[in-house]
């Protein structure tokens, strides 16, 4: 195996460095990357069930409940009972959440552009396809 094909190592180190860069950026703007993810998702799916947000972002339900609690206390989202199933809750963006989501989306585009810098569109297509394939090769509900 060639040294540059140490995919697990390269992926792990790359992820850590990217995560640190994202956290530095989001902390400076009072958001965690998880909160930004929720804001992005609700920006396209306002009023989504908490379980749907959890599944879409690959966050375990118990962690999602705590995240929703913190985001509600911060004034980013409002929680309402689902009309069809009173046991379920839906999340709605507040005006503050919408504004911070827009700012985070702009910063995310900047980071994505930095990630793609120096690579052709065809190369990025291959990388994107490879990263997407990880979800199929290593499903989160392997036993379920």
**What DSSP element (H or E) covers 80?**
strand 77-81
Q: pLDDT tens digits for the chain (144 residues)?
A: 566 678 899 899 999 999 888 777 665 567 888 899 999 999 999 999 999 999 999 999 999 999 999 999 999 999 999 888 888 899 999 999 999 999 888 888 988 999 999 999 999 999 999 999 998 999 876 544
Look at residue 129 and tell me if it is in a domain.
no
- Nearest-angstrom CA–CA distance, 36 and 26: 8
Whether residue 66 is contained in a domain is answered as yes
Of the candidates 20, 19, 42, 24, the residue with the CA atom closest to the CA atom of residue 96: 42
Give the CATH number for residue 64. 1.10.10.10
The answer to whether position 100 is within a domain reads: yes
CA dihedral 25, 8, 121, 112 (to 10 degrees): -10
List the domain range (segments joined by +) for residue 39: 3-113
In a domain, 72, yes or no: yes
Contact 100, 39 (CB under 8 A): yes
What pLDDT sits at residue 28?
58
Domain count, the chain: 1
């Amino acid at each position: 195996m060639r040294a540059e094909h140490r995919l697990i190592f390269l992926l792990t180190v790359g992820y850590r460095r990217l995560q640190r860069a994202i956290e530095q950026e989001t902390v400076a703007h009072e958001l965690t990357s998880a909160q930004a993810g929720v804001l992005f998702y609700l920006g396209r799916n306002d009023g989504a069930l908490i379980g749907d947000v959890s599944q879409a972002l690959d966050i375990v339900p118990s962690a999602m409940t705590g995240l929703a609690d913190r985001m509600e206390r911060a004034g980013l989202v409002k929680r309402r009972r689902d009309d069809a199933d009173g046991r379920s809750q839906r999340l709605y963006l507040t005006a503050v959440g919408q504004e911070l989501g827009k700012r985070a989306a702009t910063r995310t585009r900047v980071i994505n552009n930095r990630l793609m810098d120096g690579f052709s569109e065809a190369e990025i297509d291959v990388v994107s396809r490879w990263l997407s394939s990880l979800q199929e090769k290593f499903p989160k509900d392997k036993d379920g």
